[in-house]
Structure 1
């Protein structure tokens, strides 16, 4: 009766010991694997295509404006990490700019997966569950559509990592200082970090926790100063009604956990909210298990994740209203082609972590007094199903860059345009959603950033 549990514990102990002996090796492997997964989930054309602000706002500004743009607000807040990356990208040959931008964004996503893995150590102690939670950084079903492989929406993944940093308890002063620096850079990139402020009010007598919180708090203060001093333009569209927000939450945050992007519209048109409600019920059932069997910190984690998931989606849509979010008023045919928004990506990830936490708790409770515990096995089964449905979508996905326009094919004609007109200083190249990227002609002749000033 007890041989199997002992064998399981022995294998688990050996794995933990192997990880403890080579922690850096594991973290490097995880970071590389996550970055590679992010890269491979994008079609080849997306690697060489600028998305939205990447070209027009970040790289173009770095090429034309120089270092001063590092502190330039955009849309009401600072974007420190994208601007730092853009400043490095423009030091490379102009033909590499789009590829380098996508590669850097994927590499940073891999690094953020490592941050999540480290910060989740005490909250999700079971290694497979923790690897899954860290993997969500790049494996979230809708992430390739607009979030992965670009700087414009890298802030979403940064917010996900900051959520874990806010709840972390570093085990050394060095790791606390490192996480504080990451938190500061992250907070100086994502204004929605203000929603994490309540987590910073939690009592702690650990000096290292407050070192980490200091970085977050400093970033929050700076972002608030910027957003009040240089507010974003007001959206004058009609507000989205509450029923459409609720329906949109099911469509963009809940259903992607089980239904692939390519099939989501068909399922939605055929079943309405039924599939979304079923998936949500499974997630909430695992949340109940955590509240009944988890530690106080694990219960706090799940409560914060569920609350944050709903809050982030609702606030994002309400501050950026548009008619394509009016899901409640759509016909079945319209729902079949419903707009899928990046605002559901992080809410979806926050939901997906709940079954993983339940699995970590259930793994430790699966045997009591030599007998299998059915609640624990049920939680493990639910978590396994959720993980399988998400991992089944880990392959290449449709992105809003799937149709280009690719960057490199435009360079020859742009260089020729510069050569034809000696007085021409800049040329505009095409990117996504009808935007353009301003490039100094000096770059197209192989010049350096200093030459173009």
Structure 2
């Protein structure tokens, strides 16, 4: 597990350009940093934003702000997010030990957390998109079977944090009737943590106003968008490359890619245990539902994939809603590989072939995604100036200014936040 954490942290640093580590991204600045500086820790920790809770990002900001100089805030945020990403991958490896017992398959599940190509574009290393990893962790938490009460309690706290960070994780509560059993009492703390976090999220959705342009795009557009933003980036992630392939062959390429995961799903349903089938259904259904929910709430015009009159270059590609969706879809392959590997012991005549297929599946998935990641790009550079330069410049302008005077600092993507001179002098 420790090695997976290290791999996760290192992969985050390797995948993001060094110059982008000095840039504050979106809500990391205008919500988590500014509100913490303006209103303090306890006033903001459970404050809803955009209609739901952001528990872990707010907690992380509360750690980053007092522990580092203001000019180093994006570096502190990146370090925290890299560590949490590594811990998420290690947690998936650990939590899956009962339902995916083959160790190479579990390692592949952990590595999916780090090598998903699309994550590099926007999601890695910032608090605003940390909820993608919370969504990825949710089903593994609910389907795990802790051995000790102390570990069950610890995972229950993690479940609370996860469900208080990603509102769509509420979907996984549908698993509870299948996993909470008298014969498995140690699953109860995890279930309780998930339920409390979910109830809190639902109350926030009801009581906190969210400005939204949500739109129902219809099943054809949602299916097309799923192929473009979840399936296609598993192999082809450079935006220009994606658009070129879509213009040449439409949705043929992502459809062929999807067929590989359909085969993995069929294998799980045919040969898997009851819990493995439940996991396969949860992964497949949630992968599409999460993507569909995200774009429906977003409502951007570029999601009309079924509109033949819309040019390819006007359609959204490589959207962040495909990140957690893509991880859940990719997990079908290690699950199926573990099932095939276990079947080898029951079919001696085909044992060598089955084990070879299992090894080929997990190694091929991780290798393919790793290679695709080398062609991914980071879009964090959409900013007028680096954060450290802006802080130093505006701090100098405050030398003769009143403490309550405010200065504007640019953040990505093409936004800005306002901080007081008193805050800049801290």
Pairwise TM-score range, normalised by the shorter structure: over 0.9
Shift of 1:129: 1.3
The match for 2:325 is 347
Does 2:237 correspond to 1:260?
A: yes
Encode CA deviations 1:217-268: one digit per residue, 9 max, x unaligned. 11111111121111322426x5323211111100011111222335222222
- The answer to whether the Cα contact below 8 Å between 1:362 and 1:377 also exists between their aligned partners in 2 is no
Cα shift readout 1:100-149 (whole Å, capped 9, x = no counterpart) = 11111111111111211111111221112111111212221101112111
Specify the alignment match of 2:348 in structure 1: 369
Residue number in structure 1 paired with 2:415: 435
What corresponds to 2:380 in structure 1?
401
Q: Does the C-alpha gap of structure 1 residues 109 and 94 become closer, same or farther in structure 2, counting only changes over 3 Å?
A: same
Provide closer, same or farther for how the CA distance between residues 43 and 397 of structure 1 changes in structure 2, counting only shifts above 3 A: farther
The 2-side partners of 1:396 and 1:37 are apart by: 15
Superposition map of 1:54-453 within 5 A: 54-67=28-41, 68-91=43-66, 92-202=68-178, 203-205=180-182, 206-235=184-213, 238-262=215-239, 263-329=241-307, 334-335=312-313, 338-366=316-344, 368-372=347-351, 374=353, 377-378=356-357, 380-395=359-374, 397-404=376-383, 405-422=385-402, 424-445=404-425, 447=426
Q: CA RMSD in A?
A: 2.1
Which stretch has the larger CA shift, 371-380 or 407-416? 371-380
* Deviates further, 141-150 or 394-403: 394-403
Counterpart CA distance in 1 for 2:211 and 2:137 is 28
The Cα shift of 1:420 comes to 3.5
1 CA distance for matches of 2:76 and 2:403? 29
Deviation at 1:170, TM superposition (A): 0.9
- Verify the 8 A CA contact 2:237 2:375 in the aligned structure 1: no
CA distance in 2, matches of 1:136, 1:102: 19
**More off after superposition, 372-381 vs 27-36:** 372-381
Q: Could you tell me which residue of structure 2 aligns to residue 44 of structure 1?
A: 18
Deviation at 1:415, TM superposition (A): 1.1
**For the Cα contact (< 8 Å) 2:108–2:362, is it kept in 1?**
no
> Structure 2 vs 1, CA of residues 228 and 109 (structure 1 numbering), >3 Å: closer, same or farther?
same
Structure 2: 5+ residue stretches without partners: none
- 1:53 and 1:331 map into 2 onto residues whose CA distance is 34
In the alignment of these two chains, the number of paired residues is 419
> Do the aligned partners of 1:50 and 1:407 also contact (CA within 8 Å) in 2?
yes
* TM-score, scaled to structure 2: 0.92
Q: In 2, are the aligned partners of 1:418 and 1:424 still within 8 Å (CA)?
A: no
Which of 379-388 and 203-212 deviates more? 379-388
- Deviation at residue 443 of structure 1 after TM alignment: 4.0
405-414 or 113-122, larger mean C-alpha shift? 405-414
Q: Counterparts of 2:371 and 2:195 in 1: how far apart (Å)? A: 38
1:298-339 per-residue CA deviation (whole Å, 9 max, x = no partner) reads 111111100111111111111221111112225696259743
Give how far 1:442 is off.
2.9
SS in structure 2 of the partner of residue 436 of structure 1: strand
* TM-score, structure 1 as length reference: 0.87
Give the distance between the partners of 2:362 and 2:248, measured in 1 at CA. 26
Deviation at 1:191, TM superposition (A): 1.1
What is the rounded CA distance, in whole Å, between the counterparts of 2:139 and 2:270 in structure 1? 23
Question: Within 1, Cα distance between the matches of 2:409 and 2:375?
Answer: 27
Structure whose CA Rg is larger = 1
Shift of 1:374: 4.7
Is this contact kept in 1: 2:302–2:314, CA < 8 A?
Answer: no
SS in 2 for 1:86: helix
Query: Partners of 1:336 and 1:117 in 2: how far apart?
Result: 39
Which range moves more in the overlay, 181-190 or 363-372?
A: 363-372
Give the stretch that moved more between structures: 108-117 or 322-331: 322-331
Unaligned runs of 5+ in 1: 1-26, 448-453
Change (3 A) 1:66 1:60: same
